Amino acid sequence: MAAEPPLIPDFVVPVPSPADGAGPRFSICTLVTRRGEYAEMVESFVGHGFVPADCEYLYIDNSESNRFDAFQGYNLFLSGARGDYIILCHQDILLLEDGRAELEQRLNELTAHDPEWALCGNSGGVSFTRLAIRISDPYGDNQSTGTFPARATALDENFIVVRRQANLSLSHDLSGFHFYGADLCIVADFLGRGAYVIDFHLRHKSGGRTDASFYGLRKDVARKYQRAYRSRWIVTTVGGTYFYVSSSRIRSWLLSSRAVGIPRYVANFYRGIRLRFR
């Protein structure tokens, strides 16, 4: 007679399977400093099909003081929002001819183009010399530059749609109100997912601002990712397995290969020296 399986305590519960349609379709998330302008934005969204029946509106009140910066605040949104798609947007945007139906269509097209996409927006950097832009702002009305969807290295923060199933998070060692669109794109790339600019037209009242905090945070982001992309030894606890990662494929292969690379005792010696003088 087969033994009965051990009983699992009643307080232990299985993780629920993701269920489409179980929560809101969209979560519209905003840091608010001007309540009146935010109310206009919400009215614009509701009027274009993002109705409260299946959309949630979340905000962080920074009207009295900056209680949360963008990295802190948007991480709260990304972890707490229940929508299939999480819209991180500025309070000073207004929808024009494009609304929910158009956004749904663009997202479906993007999924057909890249099933593993993680986030998208209406403006972003594509390469060293090229931008993709679909926006009306103080620099011009009805701007359309590039071919959509365009794979992006960074997205403008006025309007970003994050796919909740991508499980993205902003860096916890950065702070401020700039470059979080770039940070999200880099994190998505680390996770094997893509970021894109899509053909979704809206109005952004501001043209952006570059001040001392902008350039200071640019240095912080550059330093962070210089460290993140650094060459390094990876050593595991299973059989003392080790390998070397580097932007150079040849160097990585040479230093990871048991036949061609450095002997294991040299690697262990190198590790010991680093641990001793760290």
- By CB atoms closer than 10 A (0-12, 13-18, 19+), residue 131 is middle
Compare 38 and 265 and report the one with higher pLDDT.
38
| Predicted pLDDT of residue 88 | 98
Please determine, for residue 260, whether its predicted confidence score (pLDDT) is greater than 60: no
- Which tens digit of pLDDT belongs to each residue from 202-235? 999 998 878 888 888 889 889 998 888 888 888 8
Question: What SS3 class is residue 208?
Answer: coil
- C-alpha closest to that of 87 among 23, 156, 26, 149: 26
Contact 177, 71 (CB under 8 A): no
**Would you say residue 151 has pLDDT above 50?**
yes
Mean pLDDT of 107-121: 98
CA distance 274 to 153: 34
Alpha carbons 249 and 189: distance in angstroms, whole number? 18
Other residues' Cβ atoms within 10 Å of the Cβ of residue 97: 9
Residue 236 burial (10 A CB sphere; 0-12, 13-18, 19+): exposed
What's the confidence (pLDDT) of residue 134?
98
What pLDDT score was predicted for residue 234? 81
Q: What dihedral angle (degrees, nearest 10) is formed by the CA atoms of 151, 247, 244, 237? A: -30
